[in-house]
Amino acid sequence: MDCIQLTGIRAYGYTGFLPEEQVLGQWFQVDLTLWLDLSKSGSSDRIEDTLDYRNAIETVKQLVKTSKFALVERLASAIAEALLELPAHPDQPVVEQVRVQLSKPAAPIPDFGGRITIDITRTR
């Protein structure tokens, strides 16, 4: 199966377990792998024959910006669900599987300067 990888999608959002995370917000980073058939677009060289990944990027950004979940696991799942449901035009392939890597680069945890990443894979 072919795939499109989109990395470094950044958006400011309000998901988090602590009340201040849902009020003050924080930055999130999302990396995606979208599995779909790219054989037609590989031959035709037409955007109509592939997934316009601008739609996938905008979907992720809107979900991060507007969601107020307690857990990043729920946000990652919501992103995966939305990407699997992206509308397909008659000639456009459908995303069959998606991998979402959702990171909190600055989690509000005392004495922790690392990054927290949720990594999920969902299939249609």
Cβ 13 vs Cβ 60: under 8 Å? no
| pLDDT value at residue 93 | 65
Nearest alpha-carbon partner for 97 in 76, 112, 80: 80
Beta strands per DSSP E along 26-123:
26-36, 97-104, 116-123
Q: Which listed CATH number (3.30.43.10, 3.40.50.2300, 3.40.50.300, 3.30.1130.10) goes with 2-123?
A: 3.30.1130.10
Q: Which of 40, 61, 65, 104 is catalytic?
A: 104
User: Cα separation of 65 and 62, whole Å?
Assistant: 5
Check if 40 is active-site.
no
The per-residue pLDDT string of the chain (124 residues; one tens digit each, 9 = 90 and over) reads: 899 999 999 999 999 999 999 999 999 999 999 999 999 889 999 888 888 899 999 999 999 999 999 999 999 999 999 999 987 666 666 899 999 999 999 888 888 889 999 999 999 8
The pair of structure tokens assigned to 44 is 């035709």
Domain ranges of the chain: 2-123
pTM beyond 0.85: yes
